[in-house]
Structure 1
Amino acid sequence: MASKRFEFLLGLCLLLVINMASAQLSSTFYATSCPKALSTIKSAVDSAVSNEARMGASLLRLHFHDCFVNGCDGSILLDDTANMTGEKTAGPNNNSVRGFGVIDTIKSQVESLCPGVVSCADIVAVAARDSVVALGGPSWNVLLGRRDSATASLSAANSNIPAPTLSLSGLISAFSNKGFTAKEMVALSGSHTIGQARCTTFRTRIYNETNINSAFATSLRGKCPSTGGDNNLSPLDTTSPTSFDNAYFKNLQSQKGLLHSDQQLFSGGSTDSQVNAYSSNSGSFTTDFANAMVKMGNLSPLTGTSGQIRKNCRKAN
C-alpha cells in the first residue's frame, strides 16, 4: 500500500514538473526582449521554402526529431566534439535530417537583432510552424521560452525516434512513451503529406509487402532498384507532395503509403477509422495536427536557469 502511494505521489510530482515547465513558456516571450524575432524567422523560412519546397518538410522534421530526444532543447543541432557524439549520426538522422544551414542563417539574423536572447530550440519550433504555413497548412501559437541544452544523446536519438519499419503497435507505443494518444499519433503522421523519403527506407516495402497498390509499387521500383540507389528520393505523398493537405490519408486508403509505418495506420487495425475521418474531413485533420504540434513543442523544455542560449546553434557556449 505504501509503495502504491509512493508511486502515485511520484507520478503527481512528475506531472507537476512537466506542467510547471510548459507553464513557463509563453507565446509572447520575446515581445519586449526581441520584438522582431518571429517576423525575422518567418521571412527566412518563407525564403528557404520558396527556394526549395522540400525544405518546409525538413524543418518540420527537424523539430520532431529534436523534441522526441530528451525534449525540445535544440540538441539535434549540436555538432560532434572530442568529448561528445551528437545526434546527427544517429540512424534516424544520418544522411537524412537537414535544414541546419537554414537554422544557422536564422540564428545569425536574430543574434544581430538581439544578441543572446533567442534560443536555438525556439527557432526550430517556430520554423516548423512557419514551414507548415508556407506550404498551405494550419498555423498555431508556438509557446516560447525554451533554452538550449549543452549536450546531446546519440543513444536516445537511436532509441526514441520512431523507425519507418515499426508496426502499428510499435508506433502507438513510441508515441505513447511521449504522452501522445493513438489519435494524436495519426494526426502527427499526417506531416508525411509533405517531404520525401530515401529509397533505403521504403525498398523492403515495394519489393516484399503485399498491402501495397501494385501499380504504385511498380512505379517506385523505377526510382528505387533492389540494390543501389539508397539515397534516391520519392515523395511521401505522391498526390500533392508540396501542399500540406489531407491527401496522405487518401493515399493510405488506396494502399499507397510509401513507408511501412505509413501503411500500418490503415491495414485493418485500430487506427483505420481515424484515417477515414481525416481523409473525409481536412479541417478535422489540420485542427488536430496543430493541437498535437503545440503538445509536442511542450515536451520537456529547458526553462528558467536550466540550459543556455547558444551563440552558435552547432556548439555549446
Structure 2
Amino acid sequence: MFSKALASLVLALSALRIARAAPPGRVACADGVHFASDAACCALFPIVDILESDFFDGGECGEEVHESLRLTFHDAIGFSFTQGGGGADGSIMVFEDIETAFHANAGVDEIVDAQKAFIQKNNITLSPGDFIQLAGAVGVSNCPGAPRLEFFLGRPAPKAASPDLLVPEPFDSVTKILARFADAGFNPNEVVALLASHTVAAADLVDPTIPGTPFDSTPGIFDSQFFIETQLKGTLFPGTAGNQGEVMSPLRGEMRLQSDAELARDPRTACQWQSFVNNQANMQSEFKAAMLKLSLLGQNQRNLVDCSEVIPVPRAVTDKPHLPAGSSLRDVERACAFSPFPVLTADPGPATSVAPVPPS
C-alpha cells in the first residue's frame, strides 16, 4: 500500500515538473511563475509588478502614465545625426539639472524626480535609459486600446547631456517640426504616428491656469478621438486660448496645440492623420512601430535583449469613433485631398465639457 502511494506521489510530482517546464525556446525564471525568451528578462517581472501596483496606482491610465510616456519622448528625441545626443539613453535623468532646464522640457522635472525616487526606493538596478522606456511601455499598457509596446533591455549609461533645441515645441511650424524629426530619422507619417500619444495626454504648463487639460475627450483611452477632435472647427472659450502654443479647442475643457492643429491640416501629414480616424488597428500598428524606433534612438539594437514579453497586454477599446455631442460632419475641417473624411455619428445630447485629468 505504502509503495503504491509513494509511486503515485512520485508520478504526481513528475507531472508537476513537466507542467512547469519551460516552453521550447524559453527559460523558466527563478520565481517559479514566469518564463522568458532570455534569462536576463526574468529580473524585469517584479519591477513591472511594482510599477503597476505602486507607481501607476494599481494599473490606472492616469497622470503618471501620461507623464511617463511623455518622458520616453523627451529623453529619446535628444538625438541628431548632425548635432549629436545619445537618444534613448536616460540622459534627461542623469543630467537632470541641464536638460530639464531646456525650455521645451518644462515640467518634465516632476516625472524625472518621481521616477528617480521610485528607483531608489525599490533598489532598481536598471540603467536610466532602460527604466524610462520600460516605465513608458508598462504605463501605456494600462490604457484600453493601446498596442502592446516592445521593450529592449541593455542600454548603457549616458555619457553626456543632450544638446538643447532638439525637442520640438507646440508653436513650431510644421516645416520646422518635420525637419527636426527627419534629422532624427523619422518621416512625416511616423511623426503623425508618434502623436497618437496625445490621445492619452494632458497639458499642465501650456496654460498654467488650467492644469491637466486633455487633448481629447477620452484621455484615459487610447483611441482615435484625438485625431477626430483636432480636425473640428475650434470655438474660443475664455481662459483656454491666447497662450503661445495653444489655439482654439472644439470642446470646452479641451486643449488643442497649435502644432497639432497645423499637422492635421498640412498636405504633408493630413492624409496620415485622417487615416487614423476610423482605423484603430492601423493607429495601433503605426504607433507601436514608431515607438520602437524612438526607443532605440542612439542605441545598437544588436547589443540589446528583446524583453517585450514582460509588457502587460492592454485591454481592448470598446468605444467606436464618434463626433462629440453637439457637433456634426459640417464641423470637420477636411484636409486630405485624396480621400473623404469618414462618416461618423455624433454622441446624443448637447455639447458637454471635458473634465481635467486629476493630478497624481
Match of 1:55 among 30, 39, 64: 64
1:284 matches 2:282: yes
Match of 2:128 among 105, 112, 120: 120
Given that 1:145 and 1:303 are in contact with CA atoms closer than 8 Å, whether structure 2 keeps it comes out as no
Match of 1:195 among 201, 220, 227: 201
1:130 matches 2:138: yes
Moved more, 232-241 or 123-132: 232-241
Match of 2:105 among 93, 118, 127: 93
Offset, 1:109: 6.0
Aligned to 1:143: 152
Aligned to 2:75: 66
Alpha-carbon distance in 1 for matches of 2:65, 2:230: 22
Given that 2:102 and 2:165 are in contact with CA atoms closer than 8 Å, whether structure 1 keeps it comes out as no
Cα shift readout 1:181-216 (whole Å, capped 9, x = no counterpart)? 1001001011111121135x3xxxxxxxxxxxxxxx
Offset, 1:298: 1.0
Given that 1:63 and 1:124 are in contact with CA atoms closer than 8 Å, whether structure 2 keeps it comes out as yes
The aligned runs of 1:152-301 (5 Å cut-off) are: 152-153=161-162, 156=163, 158-198=164-204, 201=206, 230=208, 232-255=210-233, 256=250, 258-301=256-299
Given that 1:250 and 1:279 are in contact with CA atoms closer than 8 Å, whether structure 2 keeps it comes out as yes
Offset, 1:40: 1.2
Alpha-carbon distance in 2 for matches of 1:304, 1:194: 31
In 2 relative to 1, CA 74–238 (structure 1 residues): closer, same or farther, beyond 3 Å? same
Offset, 1:106: 4.4
In 2 relative to 1, CA 67–282 (structure 1 residues): closer, same or farther, beyond 3 Å? same
Alpha-carbon distance in 1 for matches of 2:46, 2:132: 14
Given that 1:66 and 1:75 are in contact with CA atoms closer than 8 Å, whether structure 2 keeps it comes out as yes
Moved more, 245-254 or 93-102: 93-102
Which amino acid letter does the alignment assign opposite residue 166 of structure 1?
Answer: D
Given that 1:146 and 1:303 are in contact with CA atoms closer than 8 Å, whether structure 2 keeps it comes out as no
Alpha-carbon distance in 2 for matches of 1:170, 1:251: 24
Cα shift readout 1:201-235 (whole Å, capped 9, x = no counterpart)? 3xxxxxxxxxxxxxxxxxxxxxx5xxxxx353243
Cα RMSD, aligned residues only: 2.8
Given that 2:91 and 2:160 are in contact with CA atoms closer than 8 Å, whether structure 1 keeps it comes out as yes
Offset, 1:174: 1.5
Aligned to 1:32: 39
Aligned to 1:75: 91
In 2 relative to 1, CA 174–149 (structure 1 residues): closer, same or farther, beyond 3 Å? same
Offset, 1:152: 1.4
Alpha-carbon distance in 1 for matches of 2:189, 2:77: 17
Unaligned runs of 5+ in 2: 1-34, 79-84, 234-249, 304-360
In 2 relative to 1, CA 109–32 (structure 1 residues): closer, same or farther, beyond 3 Å? farther
Given that 1:62 and 1:98 are in contact with CA atoms closer than 8 Å, whether structure 2 keeps it comes out as no
Which amino acid letter does the alignment assign opposite residue 278 of structure 1?
Answer: F
The alignment of Structure 1 onto Structure 2 pairs a total of residues equal to 239
Larger Rg: 2
SS at match of 2:203: strand
- How high is the TM-score relative to the length of structure 1? 0.67
Offset, 1:104: 2.3
Offset, 1:279: 0.6
Offset, 1:97: 4.7
Greater share of helix: 1
Which amino acid letter does the alignment assign opposite residue 178 of structure 1?
Answer: A
Offset, 1:302: 7.2
In 2 relative to 1, CA 29–298 (structure 1 residues): closer, same or farther, beyond 3 Å? farther
In 2 relative to 1, CA 29–281 (structure 1 residues): closer, same or farther, beyond 3 Å? same
SS at match of 1:160: coil
Aligned to 2:242: none
Given that 1:54 and 1:242 are in contact with CA atoms closer than 8 Å, whether structure 2 keeps it comes out as no
Aligned to 1:44: 51
Cα shift readout 1:132-176 (whole Å, capped 9, x = no counterpart)? 1112211122122101114313xx2x3100110012212211111
Offset, 1:86: 1.8
Alpha-carbon distance in 2 for matches of 1:303, 1:138: 21
Given that 1:46 and 1:130 are in contact with CA atoms closer than 8 Å, whether structure 2 keeps it comes out as no
- How high is the TM-score relative to the length of structure 2? 0.60
